[in-house]
Amino acid sequence: MKVAWEMTNHISARVAWHMDGWNGRICSNPAANTYCIGQYSYPGTKIGEERNLEWEQENRGQCCSELSKVPPCIYSINAFGSKTLTAEADPPAFFGKPLPPKRKWELPPSTICIWPYEEMYYRDGIKKANGNFDYDKRREYADQYFSQIEKDRSLIFYYANYSNPFSEDDAQAYVIVGVSRVKRVGQMLFYENCTQETKERFGGGFIWQRNITSHYPDEGFRIPYHLYLDKPDVLEKILFVPDNQRKFKYATRIMTDDDALALIEYFIEVAAYLKELGDTSDNWSLRLSWLHSLVGELWRSRGLYPGLAKVFDFLDFKEAVPLIKGYTQRGEEKAVKSTLFQYLDGEIDAVPDLSISADRQRKLKRQWQLQSDEQKHLLRDLLPRFDLSVDQLRRLLADDAQRGSYGFQGSLHEIAENPYVISEQYVGDDADDIIPFSKIDHGVFPSPELGGEFLAETNDWRRLRALCVEYLKREQKHVFSPTSIVLDQINRRLSFMPEWKRHQYTLQYFKVDQNELSHALTQRQIGNEHYLYLKYVHEDERLIERQLRLLAQRPSITFKVPMTEQHWFNFLSHSDSPLQEQNPDEYRNAIHGQVEVCQKIFPRSLSVLSGAAGTGKTTVIKALIQAIKRTEGEGASFQLLAPTGKAADRLREATGQSAATIHSFLARRNWINTENMTYRRTGGRREEGIATFIIDEASMLDLDLIAALFRAIKWETVKRLIFVGDPNQLPPIGRGRVFADIIDWLHESMAEGVGVLTTNIRQMEGRLKGEGESILKLASLYTRSNQVDEKDEVIHSFSESFLPEDFLLSLQEGGDIDKDLRVLYWQNPEDLVQKLTSTIVADMEQDTGESFNPEQPYKLWNKAFGQRAEYQQVISPYRGEQFGTVYLNEILQQFSHNHGLNKKLAHVALFDKVMQIVNSSKARPMWAYNATAKKSEQVEVFNGELGFVKPHGYDTGEYWKPYFYLKRFQVIFSRKSHLWVEYPKKEIVEDNLELAYAISVHKSQGSEFERVYFILPKEKTTLLSRELFYTGVTRARRHCTLLVQGDISPLLRMRRPEKSHLVNIDASLFDFHPLPLEMHTIRDWKQEWRYHKTLADIFVRSKSEVIIANMLTEREIPFQYEVPLFAEDGTFYLPDFTITWNGKQWYWEHLGRLDNAAYRAHWKKKNDWYRKNFPHQLIITEESEDLSGDADMLIREYFS
């Protein structure tokens, strides 16, 4: 319903992704559009459920006006199209029989269809007393929503939800794709020939879509993403992710002039870059003129005081709201503001054009007098300038305690002195409820045409600080950032603002205004480089650092009862282990290795238990718990913690002990703000009754989470803290690299606090069963290592030493590398699908002894899985593309079902493999039928849990019937076979479940599978890293199939030292290690083999190689590091340095371990290869005390 005081309303509008710019045509390559079928497409999962890819491929690039069928993307496809199309809608099955016919209607050029879903589900009064939705109300609310859109005035901002090419599991983003002005709002549409009962029950049978036609191309423009999808350097500049995603929800939402103004300012930046780039897809000068005209128009509509009506709503003076609107439209907003506040202050007795009873007058003035002087000042002089919601005003003006829950740390006086504090500190109900910098900047610097005064100079330190804070908040992985990069970004932003708001800051401001900036920022100078932290982030690092140092400095823990080597051996060994029977000596040696680790870390107040998958970390945790109980008594206090619900659940199951998530531990002690689930920095209860903390899956700990935990513990009462994890796995999605930094520091300062499990029990079991050990050999090539004195090309930690280069040659050959590892190369998406499906079938046939029947594929799938979701898993690094999880899930769903896919709830069919994608905790439980107890109960289901869909118990005898309508089902999750978790309606499914035939590496973390099929693309490498690959392949317990695109180059690329997530994080826990500036700016890793000056500590593996690299750089001799060198027969090696000089190619090898026999043998083989394939092109240095001199002599000889 249109609120009286709002000026022009604008709207957001969700579209399904289109590969050619929403031009009214079928995508030119429909198969490549794996985004429109995603869970977050529009409308919902309709396209994924209805798309006929074969038909689309046959009609690729065709205008939809020329086709005999209507594609399911019709509601979005014509946003920027030039022809009139036909849209259609099928009546919902719940209308009942007989269903009305399909409804078709005309879709003019530049028209989309949208629907306000928020109004359908979340408005007051939307449900009847019996709990059913009131469709008459739904229809009324929809009409009210569309009535707020003004033709020829309202702007429409087109956006794509998470189903777009720029979103991944660890970085989901809404993407704005274009803007135009509304030309026409279509009428409400109805299904024709509905029965009278249908009309009465469902509001006349209205259709949940409505035309919105824009003035494009005369007004507006689209961002030409489709032209640059293979040019990441351009995409980075034109990608438009809105600061405030709150306005891009529920398919469409109303926006204010102020919201629109912030978006248009960024559109100007995008259009200016495209003009500078020389893009010819549009007339960018014309588009820029239009955008600049919009800035003036929006300022005039916004006015000086967009928050004035909200202020009076906050004061419950609602009678003033229509008055404000009227005066504002006449350009007299200053006058009405002055008059209204004079009235509240008692300076005048009445307000013209406003009739209020004497009793009401007394109440209004009393309410105003109850405000403090600081509140009055803000309400009168400051807050009317800002377009804040009434709820945001309430939080801002609340008492200190409540205001603190929403991030405000200072007093109202501080806010009055610096309004930018509002954008710096405000934390709303959720991640989308923010107050961006632009909201405050608009109020501080209103358009001069409006006659309002500025509240600051354009070069004000308050403005600089707020800009820096906003930038650093968006940098969610880095702990700090180089100031030069921050300055470059904010100055670019300011340069596109209107003339009256422009300014260019310099580094000198950080020196001059250091004291004022220090309240929100921490500066650090190292040599000539300057760095910035968010103040609270810097404090978090120092808090962790300080407490860990104190723990490490404590004396060893002493025991009052014996805790001998034999005790440890008894806790760790299992007489019924197959290893004990088949190879007792090797098993005993393995257990002794674990015993040594336990003896090493157990007496320490601070320790790390580190080990790869399969080394027995959980077994050691159980032994540590037994030792705690033995040395401190059965009632000894300890707490098992994990960063995720799934990890805590597995830890609880594996140890038989109570385990909790860190979040639940914090919540129980009041360290989490329940309003928005943010961490509190003060005010919670510090735990003082637990002596030992054991934190599992420590590689997943981000800085914010571990700092919150450290604040929640009274460390004086803690005896022992143990971190457990695999440092080679993916780092956290959040800020920092805490676990890796703790391990590095302990190795340097207190090596006895690090226990590394080196013997792989799983590997031993596989070897004894004849199952091979190549999965772990492969993983060992991608483990984390610091720079060493000399590069050792022999790996010894297996039954036989092996040479990485030789192992890579076997991977290059492809096929069965070992009994546990297979490599298949694919050339295109069709080849990938064929190889993937045929390999899965062959493996299932081998495992079950059954044959595959393509008419009944589900029989083999059911036999192989046997309700064990962990039997097999396809894993891909990406969601999108034809090698990503969305596309592969669609393929595998079809392949495994053959029939029955016409009955889906959202995107999920009966018997699908699925994953829960959000936590259903004790605060938000789900219902399940307990088949053991024969009753329904509330249960917790965690993000990442896997299971299978089954028919709902109520539908057991019905689901196979032809006319069965699927409206609910249940899911049986792994290790919880007695619980049938309820998913009672489509909306619950959409919010909670994804198909899980294929999952991302991030989603697989913490799980293990008998078989893994790992997809490794070549053409898209942005996410690929050593940690990602290691995490993915080590999910396989028994067998791993690598499906690699093209050739071995993706496997070689990820071995490079700089291809590490950890290396690419700016962090400073214990040790300040900033990335070289080049690492922030290099985006095109097609040049990844090339050496860049100052990057030696990252790009090369040994300290001797650093010496050579630096000498070459100083002499300006260009070179590449470890670029694969292929001979004519296809064999290859990795020269240390490749140098092109005067038209000739040279290969420099540094021999650092000739004292090792295996190394010498390998070098002989490699040297022979050079002589055969590249004679007279090899330069050799050997390790010596005068390496610099030797290298200098060779450089003079060959390159002078």
Domain ranges, ordered by start, for the chain? 10-114+148-198+207-292, 540-763, 815-1053, 1089-1199
pLDDT at 1081: 65
Read off the tokens for 680: 């509190």
> Each residue of 207-252: pLDDT tens digit?
999 999 999 999 999 999 999 998 988 998 999 999 888 899 999 9
Return d(Cα 666, Cα 673) in angstroms, integer.
10
> Each residue of 890-925: pLDDT tens digit?
999 999 997 767 788 888 999 999 999 988 866 678
* Nearest-5° Cα angle at 310, 307 to 313: 155
Cis peptide before 217 (omega within 30 of 0): yes
Return d(Cα 1185, Cα 434) in angstroms, integer.
60
Average pLDDT along the chain? 91
Written as one string, the DSSP assignment of 942-1001 is -TT-EEEEEE-GGGTTTTTSTT-----EEEEETT-TTEEEEE-SHHHHHHHEEE-SEEEH
Least confident of 515-529, 759-773, 1051-1065, 1151-1165: 759-773
- Residue 799 Cα distances to 592, 717, 760, 764, 771, angstroms: 17, 45, 11, 9, 13
616-645 mean pLDDT: 94
pLDDT at 787: 43
> Each residue of 59-79: pLDDT tens digit?
999 999 999 999 999 999 999
Predicted confidence band of residue 790 (pLDDT cuts 50, 70, 90): very low
815-1053 has the same fold as 540-763 = yes
* Nearest-5° Cα angle at 173, 167 to 174: 120
Stated length of the chain: 1200
Q: What are phi and psi of 920, to 5 degrees?
A: -110, 95
Closest C-alpha among 795, 773, 775, 772 to residue 785: 795
CATH architecture of 1089-1199: 3-Layer(aba) Sandwich (3.40)
DSSP three-state, residue 644: coil
User: Which helix or strand (DSSP H or E) is residue 133 part of?
Assistant: none
pLDDT at 518: 97
> Each residue of 34-64: pLDDT tens digit?
999 998 999 988 998 899 999 999 999 999 9
> Each residue of 1046-1059: pLDDT tens digit?
999 999 989 888 88
Closest C-alpha among 714, 771, 989, 678 to residue 39: 989
Predicted confidence band of residue 799 (pLDDT cuts 50, 70, 90): low
Tell me what percent of the residues of the chain surpass a pLDDT of 70: 96
Q: Residue 771 pLDDT > 90, yes or no?
A: no
> Each residue of 831-874: pLDDT tens digit?
999 999 999 999 999 999 999 999 999 999 999 999 899 999 99
Q: Residue 1172 pLDDT > 80, yes or no?
A: yes
**Pairing relationship of beta strands 210-214 and 175-185 according to DSSP bridges:** antiparallel
> Each residue of 1083-1104: pLDDT tens digit?
543 344 444 444 555 577 788 8
pLDDT at 986: 86
Return d(Cα 132, Cα 146) in angstroms, integer.
24
pLDDT at 995: 96
Return d(Cα 809, Cα 803) in angstroms, integer.
10
State the fold for domain 540-763: Rossmann fold (3.40.50)
pLDDT at 1019: 82
Q: Residue 552 pLDDT > 50, yes or no?
A: yes
Written as one string, the DSSP assignment of 995-1015 is E-SEEEHHHHTT--EEEEEEE
> Each residue of 509-548: pLDDT tens digit?
999 999 999 999 999 999 889 999 999 999 999 999 999 9
Q: Residue 428 pLDDT > 90, yes or no?
A: no
Q: Residue 7 pLDDT > 90, yes or no?
A: no
Task: Return the half-sphere exposure (C-beta side, CA atoms, 13 A cut-off) of residue 43.
Answer: 15
Predicted confidence band of residue 295 (pLDDT cuts 50, 70, 90): very high
Predicted confidence band of residue 796 (pLDDT cuts 50, 70, 90): low
- Residue 34 Cα distances to 18, 37, 380, 995, angstroms: 10, 6, 52, 14
Which strands sit side by side in the sheet containing 480-482, from one edge to the other? 480-482, 529-534, 521-526
**What is the CATH number assigned to the segment(s) 815-1053?**
3.40.50.300
C-beta neighbour count of 555 within 10 angstroms: 7
H helix runs in 148-241, sequence order? 196-201, 232-238
Residue with tokens 């020196």: 511
Predicted confidence band of residue 6 (pLDDT cuts 50, 70, 90): very low
DSSP three-state, residue 437: helix
User: Which helix or strand (DSSP H or E) is residue 89 part of?
Assistant: strand 85-89
The pTM (predicted TM-score) of the whole model is 0.90
Return d(Cα 1198, Cα 568) in angstroms, integer.
61
Q: Residue 4 pLDDT > 60, yes or no?
A: no
**Would you say 638 and 628 are in contact if contact means Cβ atoms under 8 Å apart?**
yes
Stronger pLDDT, 996 or 4, i.e. the higher one: 996
Q: What are phi and psi of 18, to 5 degrees?
A: -130, 140
Return d(Cα 148, Cα 154) in angstroms, integer.
9
pLDDT at 1084: 43
> Each residue of 157-174: pLDDT tens digit?
999 999 999 988 778 899
Give 1114-1155 as a 3 state SS string: HCCCCEEECCCEECCCCCEECCCEEEEECCEEEEEEEECCCC
Written as one string, the DSSP assignment of 550-601 is HHHTSPPP--SS---HHHHHHHH--TT-HHHHH-HHHHHHHHHHHHHHHHHH
